[in-house]
Amino acid sequence: MRWVWIIVIGLVLLVLEVGAASQLRGLGSGPDLMLLFAVFLSLYGPIEDAPLSGWLLGMAKDSMSAGTFGLYAVLFMVLSFFLSRIRADIFLEYNKSHIVNAALATLLVYTGASLWNWTQGSGILAMVPAVVGVSIWNALLAPLLFGVFFRFSRPLEALRRPR
């Protein structure tokens, strides 16, 4: 049942990202809601499910992007695997941690995507504002969205937020 909820929430986020969030371009790029959900599942979901959930959410993002199909799937999967393995060393109970985790995860994923696109002939300096912009958006939205995701912690079989 957990996977049904992951897919439903992922689809809702995909619609929001393509619709409303795509209008938020004030910092060079809009937020990446799918990545925030992958980070949440990596930090709070079952450890063994993190790479697969990251891969699925990345594939959903790839289906709506114009770039190399599978790029975000691989990047989300690697990030999810990494975060799920180090989550015991991260202070998960603070909103400041959510901000830092979201910003760093976004920087890693989008820097990886930019480096890939650079090897394919795109200008790397042209991508810097978008990488920084999406990282700032994700950092700002992380506490709010993680709070929403915590509402679904039971059906997602995720850890509950410490009080």
Q: pLDDT tens digits for 58-80?
A: 999 898 877 788 899 999 999 99
Domain enclosing residue 132, as ranges: 2-152
94 versus 108: the higher-pLDDT residue is 108
Q: Quick check: is 158 in a domain?
A: no
Q: What's 23's domain CATH number?
A: 1.10.1760
**pTM score of the predicted model:** 0.90
Region of residue 144 (left: phi > 0; alpha: psi -120 to 50; beta: else): alpha
Look at the chain and report how many structural domains it folds into.
Answer: 1
Output the pLDDT for position 162.
Answer: 57
Q: Is residue 9 part of a domain?
A: yes
With H, G, I as helix, E, B as strand and everything else as coil, classify residue 1.
coil
Would you say residue 116 has pLDDT above 60? Answer: yes
- The per-residue pLDDT for range 127-144, each reduced to its tens digit, is 788 888 899 999 999 999
Per the CB < 8 A criterion, the answer to whether 134 and 31 are in contact is: yes
Asked if residue 6 is part of any domain, the answer here is yes
Q: Which of 111, 103, 112, 107 is nearest to 141 (CA)?
A: 103
Is 159 domain-assigned? no
158: amino acid identity, one letter: A
Residue 161 inside a domain? The answer is: no
